Amino acid sequence: MKAAILREFKQGLTIEDVPTPNPGPDEVLIKIEAAGVCHSDLHIAEGDWPQLATFVKRPLVLGHEVVGRVVERGAGVQHLDVGDRVGVPWIYWSCGECEICREGNENLCPSQIVTGGTVDGGFAEFMKAKASHAARVPASLSPEEAAPLFCAGVTVYRALKKADIRAGQRVAIFGVGGLGHLAVQIAVVFGAEVWAIDVDGNKLEFAQELGAHNTLNASKSEVVKELRKVGRVHTAVVTSAAKAAYDSAFSSVRQGGSLVVVGLPPEPLEFPAVMMAATEVKVIASSVGTREDLSQVLEMAASGLLHCRTETRRLDQVNDVLEDMQKGRITGRVVLTP
């Protein structure tokens, strides 16, 4: 089969012929129809996360937003059939037995296996997956529509859910890219007054089409000053990987509000302790999502409340996609097709 292989950080991916994987007793083999390209794929390919570099296997097939058809199943698989359309998220497997999993936080399982990180992912023609963690895709969603929901969609959904958004509250989304444009829609569904912030005017126009009530261009406006005029925001969700976005977001949150960490800059974030204490601003981190979160996101999309803007490109164009992502030239999500 053809696959895009990461052999060394910062060297790009190579399209190679590699053996088609064989599923184990508890696994399925999936013929891939679509694989979304996430900013985390770029971070992994560039070696931006030195804390995780030792855990990333190489050679590696990236890709953790994967949708395809089951073409083979292991002897122990009962609930999935050949021909089922399924998706594979970031969490390839979690133990289900540790204290963290039993508390309902399988996304934080210390034994978790990561799709496209510690095992091969979906930038290929086929991949294998744990049947327990492969989710059926609603028939009303195309593979291209569904694939980004397996990371971008579930990630921002869990982030907004953890922030306990209430109807009428002001919510600022910093960055209207692959995650941000989905966060805008979910915040609207939650009944929030949504402010979209970006440096790209086209992305801000897109945010308005998606239901954002207000937009601010960070390259032309003083975002903190403008948000202070309206009493600042109850919640700021940063989907951008720019540290500057976090600096603005922190100063834009009202007393007792929340800043939600979703985008992952390579450098450390810094928030003044005196201001955190004086305002009781909560800094909340959110990591992808559980199978329950994913089920809720897929249901939301299947009912027409959530739409991912996608652009389809061929698998052999993956390095061009990563370059476009690095330079901020992508609105929505690029989905690779083998």
What CATH code is carried by the domain that includes residue 115?
Answer: 3.90.180.10
Looking at the structure of the chain, the number of domains it has is 2
**pLDDT score recorded for residue 52:** 67
Q: What is the DSSP letter of 149?
A: G
**pLDDT score recorded for residue 54:** 67
- Both 158 and 143 in one domain: the answer is no
Residue with tokens 């679509």: 34
**pLDDT score recorded for residue 55:** 79
78 by DSSP, 3-state: which?
Answer: coil
- Both 281 and 295 in one domain: the answer is no
- Both 133 and 222 in one domain: the answer is no
70 by DSSP, 3-state: which?
Answer: strand
Residues of the chain under the 50 pLDDT cut: none
- Residues in Cβ contact with 159 at an 8 Å cutoff, skipping those fewer than 6 apart: 183, 237, 260, 262, 284, 286
- Residues in Cβ contact with 86 at an 8 Å cutoff, skipping those fewer than 6 apart: 28, 30, 67, 68, 69, 70, 80, 129, 134, 135, 136, 137
pLDDT tens track for 184-224: 999 999 999 999 999 999 999 999 999 999 999 999 999 99
**pLDDT score recorded for residue 329:** 87
- Both 56 and 147 in one domain: the answer is yes
**pLDDT score recorded for residue 263:** 92
Gap between the Cα atoms of 141 and 112, Å rounded: 28
pTM (predicted TM-score): 0.94
- Both 250 and 314 in one domain: the answer is no
- Both 237 and 306 in one domain: the answer is no
- Both 73 and 219 in one domain: the answer is no
- Check whether the bond before 59 is cis (ω within 30° of 0): yes
- Both 280 and 295 in one domain: the answer is no
Q: Give residue 258's domain range.
A: 154-285
- Both 70 and 90 in one domain: the answer is yes
Gap between the Cα atoms of 71 and 146, Å rounded: 19
**pLDDT score recorded for residue 53:** 63
- Both 158 and 238 in one domain: the answer is yes
Range 245-263 burial, b when 16+ CB lie within 10 A, else e: bbebbbbbbbeebbbbbbb
- Both 191 and 143 in one domain: the answer is no
158 by DSSP, 3-state: which?
Answer: helix
pLDDT tens track for 253-268: 999 999 999 998 888 8
